[in-house]
Chains A and B, each alone.
Chain A
Amino acid sequence: MTHQHPALTAEQKKELSDIALRIVAPGKGILAADESVGSMAKRLNQIGVENTEENRRLYRQILFSADSRVKKCIGGVIFFHETMYQKADDGTPFVQMIKDKGIVVGIKVDKGVVPLAGTDGETTTQGLDGLWERCAQYKKDGADFAKWRCVLKISEHTPSSLAIMENANVLARYASICQQNGIVPIVEPEILPDGDHDLKRCQYVTEKVLAAVYKALSDHHVYLEGTLLKPNMVTPGHSCPTKYSPEEIAMATVTALRRTVPPAVPGVTFLSGGQSEEEASINLNAINTCPLVRPWALTFSYGRALQASALSAWRGQRDNADAATEEFIKRAEVMGVALLG
């Protein structure tokens, strides 16, 4: 406890810190394109497209074909495993297309949620087995950061102490293993927006969860300067009758972060969690104009909020590909502007 057995060398620390700073460089955020096969099914179903490997490849090609305009607003792209090894029509690996634009490649490494027995439907996240070897391989294959999503839910009796502690611990183990392999871990403790709770309740729970996450990261000797945080914004539950302004959401979110996220963390990349494209950019903008001192970059790691327009423009038709790519670029640029406040 009192002796340090350094987890990382100075060179390893520098590499991790440099990667993290590149991802959240001013004006930039993350495209979360790591939807699992099951999640892509939902997306494609909404536009009447069959969920085949080829359609998933065609769709990601639309996003990754974006021209150099995205360089100033996208710092990183999160891939799903399948996508890491797919190629464009001309045979260029997707990983290379992204890296050629100077964008950092990331990989989703968790293996989904599993139930916590004895709780009210709560979960932890699996994926630690063989994670070391997987990270080493992904690093060779071009990934420089990873993502692991834990899920907590607000209800009468949740999140419980066990759920908070267990998810914080598993996030810390994942983060530790990533860093050993030169991969910057994005730590994602998502508190779902499901429910009718108000803004204050979400803030309270978010503060408790984040405090537990950072204690666990400290306990596991994780190098904070080489990590990123991907939290929920603090919002009321979806079925809460009270409406709040973007400024209220921003104040609650930034206050919660100021009370829990050490300044050493270089960036906070919010998940969009079901917000519309419009909402997600307005809230992000309000967060970046909040009059409290904010020592970390506050940016986006959006999936749905960056892709919805592109998906509807595409509708699975090759002829619509360019128009769909254009929609994505526009959305990305709008998000980049939202960061400037």
Chain B
Amino acid sequence: MTHQFPALSPEQKKALADIAQRIVASGKGILAADESVGTMGNRLQRINVENTEENRRAFREILFSSDTSINQSIGGVILFHETLYQKDSSGKPFPAIIKEKGIVVGIKLDKGTAPLAGTNGETTIQGLDGLAERCAQYKKDGVDFGKWRAVLKITSTTPSQLAIQENANTLARYASICQQHGLVPIVEPEVLPDGDHDLQRCQYVTEKVLAAVYKALNDHHVYLEGTLLKPNMVTAGHSCSKKYTPQDVAVATVTTLLRTVPAAVPGICFLSGGQSEEEASLNLNAMNQLPVPKPWKLTFSYGRALQASALAAWLGKSENKKAAQEAFRKRAQINSLACRGQYVQSGKNDAAAMQSLFTASYTY
């Protein structure tokens, strides 16, 4: 307890810190393209496209073959295992295409939820077994960051002390193992938006969860400067009758983060959690406009909120590729502006951008 047994050398620390800084460089965020096979199924079903490996490959190709200038808005892409080893139509591996654009490649590392017996339907996350070896292999295969999603839910009896502590602990173990293998861990303790609780309740729970996460990271000797945080924004529950503005969300979220996230963490990349594309951009923008000093970057790690319009434009047809890429590029650029608090909403917004992307009890 009182003697340090350094977990990382100065060179290892520098490498991790550099990767983290590159991902959240000014105006850049993350494309979360790591939907599992099952989750991609949901996405494709919405546009009546069959969930085949080829279709999954084709859609990801559309995103990754965007013009290089996409690297002004995208600092990192999170891939699912299958996607890391897929290629574009010319046979070029996806990681190579992404890295060529100067974008950092990441990989989803968790293996989904597992129930916590004796709780009210709460879960922890599995995936620690053999994680060291998997990280080492992914690093060789071009990956520089990892992602691990823990899930907590607000009800009258949850999240329980056990769920908070257990999920914080597995996040810290995952983060520690990642860093040993040169991967920057994105730490994602998602508090789901399911429920009818109000904004204050979400803020209270998020503060408790994040305090536990950072205590666990400290206990596990994780190098904070070489990590990123992917939290939920503080919002009311999905079926809360009270409505809040982006300003309300921004103030509640930033207050929570100021109370719990040490300044050493280089960047906070919000999950979109079922918000529509437009909502997710407006909320991020409002946060970056708050006249309060924030020692970390506030940016995005969006899946649905970056891809919904692109999917709707694609509809599974190769002739729609350009339209889909344009939709993606537009959303990426808007979110890049939101990172700097410079997004000005234009009069018209298409239906896809406004559509709520909420799925109850989201697992992916």
Contacts and interface: CB of A to CB of B under 8 A. Distances in A.
Contact of B211 (A4, A158, A218, A294): A218
B200 interface: yes
A2 B211 contact: no
Nearest to B259: A264
A134 interface: no
B113 interface: no
B215 A1 contact: no
B160 interface: yes
A204 B7 CA distance: 12
Interface string B134-158: 0000000000000000000011111
B214 interface: yes
A154 interface: yes
Nearest to B160: A1
Interface residues of B, number: 37
Interface in A156-203: 156-161, 164, 200-201
A254 to B, nearest CB: 9
B258 A255 contact: no
A313 B287 CA distance: 54
Contacts of A117: none
Interface in A62-121: none
Contacts of B2: 154-160, 201, 204-205, 208
Contact of A2 (B157, B212, B260): B157
Contacts, number: 99
Contact of B262 (A224, A261, A294): A261
A263 interface: yes
A337 B1 CA distance: 38
B3 A201 contact: yes
Contacts of B164: 1
Interface residues of A, number: 39
A282 interface: no
Nearest to B158: A2
Interface string B287-304: 000000111000000000
A48 interface: no
A127 interface: no
A156 B1 CA distance: 10
A258 interface: yes
A150 B1 CA distance: 18
Given A160-B1, A215-B215, A218-B211, A262 B259 contact: yes
Contact of A4 (B204, B263, B294): B204
Contact of B218 (A1, A200, A201, A260): A260
Interface in B237-273: 255, 258-264
B181 to A, nearest CB: 22
Interface string B1-30: 111100000000000000000000000000
A261 B259 CA distance: 9
Nearest to A257: B263
Contacts of A224: 259
B218 A208 contact: yes
B201 interface: yes
A264 B258 contact: yes
A34 interface: no
A207 B218 contact: yes
A295 interface: yes
Contacts of B57: none
B1 A258 contact: no
A204 B223 CA distance: 12
Given A2-B159, A218-B208, A204 B4 contact: yes
Shortest 7 CB-CB distances between A and B: which pairs?
Answer: A218-B211, A211-B218, A4-B204, A204-B4, A264-B258, A215-B215, A258-B264
Interface of A: 1-4, 154-161, 164, 200-201, 204-205, 207-208, 211-212, 214-215, 218-219, 224-225, 255, 257-264, 293-295
Given A212-B215, A218-B211, 20 more contacts: A1-B159, A1-B208, A2-B154, A2-B205, A4-B201, A4-B204, A159-B1, A160-B1, A161-B1, A211-B214, A214-B215, A215-B215, A258-B295, A259-B262, A261-B262, A261-B263, A262-B259, A262-B260, A263-B293, A263-B294
